Amino acid sequence: MLIFLLAAVVAVPFAKKIGLGSILGYLIAGAILGPFGAQLFSNVSGLMHLSEFGVVFLLFVIGLELKPARLWVMRKSVFGIGGTQVLLGTLVLSAASFALGLDLKLSLIVGFALSLSSTAFALQYLGERKQLTTEYGRSAFAVLLFQDVAVIPVLAILPLLFVGLGTESALPPWVGILVVIAILTLGRHVTRPIFRMIASSRSREVFTSVTLLMVLGVAALMQTVGLSMALGSFLVGVLLSDSEYRHELETDIEPFKGLLMGLFFMSVGMMINTELLVENPLRIFGLLLLYLVLKFSSLFLTGKIFRFSNETSRHLSFSIVQGSEFAFVIVSLLLQGNILGGETADTVILMISLSMAMTPLLGIFNDRVLSKAFQSPPKPFDEIDDEHPLVIVAGLGRVGQIVTRILRIKDIPFTALEQDPEQVETLRRFGNKVYYGDASRIDLLEKAGAPNAKYFILAIDDVESSVHTAEVVKQTYPHLKIIARARNRNHAFRLKDIGVHLMERETFWSSIQMTRALLMDWGEDEKMVDKTLNVFTKHDLEMLEGQYQRQNDREELISYSKQAGQQLVEVMRDDKKCADPSKC
């Protein structure tokens, strides 16, 4: 165990640092320690049995996160896009597996396993690029969510499809069905009272013990009746997904899941037959290329079926084209039950591992080569009618929308400019009048009526674009009064350098109002609350001006900020004393 921990401590941080992710780190560590590497471990099958509990806990956590209400809200994207992707991927990859010599039943299971994508890799890939909120990012999340759900019944029926896979049960199949129905029907009424009773004892250790007992107990019950342990842990997770203890349960299980999943991936890494790659690299890379092309094609076709653009479909395909951690689980089960041949299993495991390793490289190829080669011509800016506005609003995000709604209510004529074409289309669907255009372009500002307007509302979200636009407007139209949105203090300082003095930090007043609501609900006197917040607001604005004067001297800035903070504490303390006349 010490060797495992040492290998994980070294390999995982290194793999994450170079952008490969923790899963590949565990696989690399396992490959180095295993029979095809340093040969420090030879009993890989025994290690796999222990590490399977990591999969059990992983399925429990997935069950906790899959609230039925959430699935219902996302049903169109999850079951529509996700279901189509899994169906197309399974058909295409099963056909390829059958053509390469596997029998029909085994081809369907292997094809399904290869159609899955790595949730950990894909979410990391999209998160690092800040693409989770894009159309293809949301679609990728929906596909991954469906895959997590779809893998459960497949794991459950594997022991029924293949003789000798899993624990043999003397009980007839209908007993297992009855047990599942009983858990789904009665489980909620049994688990809730148990956790309420345990929670009232305020013992974290007992709470964790009961959680482990429940997960492993139901998993063992499933195995006894001839079903998958993973199905049992998943059912427990679903039953507790909308309970008040969901987050605490997830927190308690996370360390066990993380450690055992790491052990599982390391044991899979030990099965990576690097000799296959050395002996026949052309065959392995040929199969890998075939796998990536077929899976990419099924993903791209899924996007086109749901009327995504070529660009969106391409980004979706590249983000989830890699193999899945659940493919390792399925292949490992087939290997342990002697259902899948050793060389075939080694080849599949090697292909999945290489597809994961290539995810960052494929992302770079997509961003730097394909995106430029197939880049759509930029959409031309709208022709703007000069409606003689008094106000020009640049940026129709969260802030700009509120400003324009109030201006519309007050019948104050304005022209709104937004540079994000998707945001423009969304706003227009809701009946908003907005022009697609860059507010830093002088020709567009001329057409928008800037020479005769009185005010310029700078509500652009991006700091650099905001500052550049402020510079253009200040230089070209000095008569315009600029009222700007500042994301933070540094942004405010840069705007002040340009000469913008009417600005509001976007989170300041909402924070003040939240604090007021807290203090009022706490029972504080309303007058004292308002006085406290007024003192704080006045002090913070003075502090902002003082920091602006010292922004180029870091040491003086830090010293001033500390002194100003201490001064505020003393002022507040004096005010608190004077609230009691006997202490003044």
Query: In this model, does residue 581 exceed pLDDT 50?
Result: no
Task: Average the pLDDT over 290-310 and give the result.
Answer: 91
Task: Average the pLDDT over 135-153 and give the result.
Answer: 83
Task: Average the pLDDT over 423-430 and give the result.
Answer: 80
Task: Average the pLDDT over 380-394 and give the result.
Answer: 82
Task: Average the pLDDT over 263-288 and give the result.
Answer: 80
Least confident range from 42-56, 201-215, 478-492: namely 42-56
Model pLDDT for residues 227-259, shown as the tens digit of each residue:
667 677 777 777 777 776 667 776 776 776 666
Task: Average the pLDDT over 290-303 and give the result.
Answer: 93
Query: In this model, does residue 415 exceed pLDDT 80?
Result: yes
Query: Encoding tokens for residue 334?
Result: 């087939």
Neighbours of 349 (CB within 10 A): 23
Give me the residue label for tokens 């599949």: 348
Report the amino acid identity of residue 235. Answer: L
How high is the pLDDT of residue 55? Answer: 66
Task: Average the pLDDT over 537-546 and give the result.
Answer: 87
Sheet holding 435-436: strands in order across?
Answer: 435-436, 414-418, 391-394, 455-458, 481-486, 502-505
Q: How far is it, in rounded angstroms, from Cα 420 to Cα 544?
A: 31
**Banded model confidence at residue 171, pLDDT cuts 50, 70, 90:** low
**Banded model confidence at residue 294, pLDDT cuts 50, 70, 90:** very high
Query: Encoding tokens for residue 221?
Result: 């019950």
**pLDDT, greater one: 162 or 49:** 162
* Backbone region of residue 317 per phi and psi (left: phi > 0; alpha: psi in -120 to 50; beta: other values): alpha
**Banded model confidence at residue 48, pLDDT cuts 50, 70, 90:** low
Query: In this model, does residue 483 exceed pLDDT 90?
Result: yes
Hey, is 435 helix, strand or coil? strand
Single out the residue of 233, 264, 205 nearest to residue 61, CA to CA: 233
How high is the pLDDT of residue 51? Answer: 57
Give me the residue label for tokens 């990012």: 137
The answer to whether 313 and 303 are in contact (CB under 8 A) is yes
The answer to whether 471 and 498 are in contact (CB under 8 A) is yes
How high is the pLDDT of residue 173? Answer: 60
Query: In this model, does residue 406 exceed pLDDT 50?
Result: yes
**Banded model confidence at residue 584, pLDDT cuts 50, 70, 90:** very low
The answer to whether 321 and 288 are in contact (CB under 8 A) is no
**pLDDT, greater one: 174 or 367:** 367
Least confident range from 261-275, 297-311, 501-515, 522-536: namely 261-275
Range among 10-14, 453-457, 551-555, 574-578 with highest mean pLDDT value: 453-457
Range among 54-63, 159-168, 271-280, 444-453 with highest mean pLDDT value: 444-453
Task: Average the pLDDT over 114-121 and give the result.
Answer: 82
Q: How far is the CA of 459 from the CAs of 40, 62, 486, 493, 527, in angstroms?
A: 61, 40, 8, 16, 33
Range among 63-67, 106-110, 161-165 with highest mean pLDDT value: 106-110
How high is the pLDDT of residue 176? Answer: 67
Q: How far is it, in rounded angstroms, from Cα 161 to Cα 176?
A: 15
Least confident range from 74-78, 175-179, 529-533, 549-553: namely 175-179
Task: Average the pLDDT over 142-161 and give the result.
Answer: 79
Burial, 402: exposed, middle or buried (Cβ in 10 Å; 0-12, 13-18, 19+)? Answer: exposed
The structure's pTM equals 0.62
Query: In this model, does residue 474 exceed pLDDT 90?
Result: yes
Range among 157-171, 199-213, 355-369, 509-523 with highest mean pLDDT value: 509-523
Hey, is 553 helix, strand or coil? coil
Q: How does the average pLDDT of the chain come out, rounded? A: 80
Task: Average the pLDDT over 129-141 and give the result.
Answer: 79
Task: Average the pLDDT over 55-75 and give the result.
Answer: 70
How high is the pLDDT of residue 392? Answer: 93
Range among 21-35, 207-221, 322-336, 391-405 with highest mean pLDDT value: 391-405
How high is the pLDDT of residue 208? Answer: 75
**Banded model confidence at residue 393, pLDDT cuts 50, 70, 90:** very high
Query: In this model, does residue 91 exceed pLDDT 90?
Result: yes
Task: Average the pLDDT over 444-469 and give the result.
Answer: 91
How high is the pLDDT of residue 18? Answer: 67
Task: Average the pLDDT over 519-539 and give the result.
Answer: 90
Query: In this model, does residue 186 exceed pLDDT 70?
Result: yes
